[in-house]
Amino acid sequence: MPNLLRRWSTVVSILVLALGVCSCGGDDGDGGGTTLRVGVILPMTGAQATYGEESWNGMQLALEDLEKAGLPTVKVQVKGDDGKMVEKDVPISLNLILRDEKSTKQEAGTQAKALIEGESAHVLLGSVASSHTKMIFQDARESEVPCISPASTNDTLTIDGGPYTSRICFKDGFQGAVLARFALSQGWKKAAVVVDKGQDYSVGLGNNFEKVFKQAGGTVTFHYYVTEDSDFANVIQQVANDEPAVIFCSGYYTQVGPMIKQAKEKWAGKPIIGGDGLDSPDFFDLVGDVSNDIYLSSHFAADAPEPEVQAFAKRYKDKFGKSPGAMAALGYDVLFVLMDAVKRCDDPFNHAKLAKAIRETKGVKGITGTITLDNEERTPVKDAVIVKVEAGLKFHKKIKAGA
Is 172-298 in the same CATH topology as 3-170+306-382?
yes
Q: CB within 8 A of 152, min separation 6: which ones?
A: 127, 128, 129, 130, 132, 133, 134, 167, 169, 201
Backbone dihedral region for residue 47 (phi beyond 0: left; psi -120 to 50: alpha; all else: beta): alpha
pLDDT score of 82? 85
The DSSP secondary-structure symbol of 127 reads -
pLDDT score of 222? 98
Phi, psi for 90 (deg, rounded to 5)? -125, 135
DSSP H or E run through 194: strand 190-196
pLDDT score of 111? 98
CA 280, 192, 287, 48 dihedral sign is: positive
Average pLDDT estimate for 227-235: 96
Q: What's the gap between Cα 347 and its chain centre?
A: 26
The DSSP secondary-structure symbol of 366 reads E
Picking from 334, 318, 328, the residue whose alpha carbon sits closest to that of residue 298 is: 328
Give the angle 380-386-391 at the CA atoms, nearest 5°: 135
Beta bridge partners of 98: 40
* CATH class label, 3-170+306-382: alpha beta
pLDDT score of 129? 96
Give CA–CA dist 255/71, Å, rounded.
41
Picking from 94, 160, 153, 93, the residue whose alpha carbon sits closest to that of residue 127 is: 153
Specify the 3-state DSSP secondary structure of 292.
coil
Domain boundaries, the chain: 3-170+306-382, 172-298
CA 384 vs CA 142, 240, 273, 349: distances in Å: 33, 30, 14, 34
pLDDT in tens, 362-402: 999 999 999 999 999 999 999 999 999 998 888 998 998 86
Count Cβ atoms within 10 A of the Cβ of residue 363 and give its class: 0-12 exposed, 13-18 middle, 19 or more buried.
exposed
Give the mean pLDDT of the chain: 91
C-alpha count within 13 angstroms, C-beta hemisphere, residue 63:
17
CB 279 within 8 A of CB 154: no
pLDDT score of 402? 64
Beta bridge partners of 194: 223, 249
Give the angle 318-322-327 at the CA atoms, nearest 5°: 110
Q: Per CATH, which fold does 172-298 belong to?
A: Rossmann fold (3.40.50)
pLDDT in tens, 309-364: 999 999 999 999 999 999 999 999 999 999 999 999 999 999 999 999 999 999 99
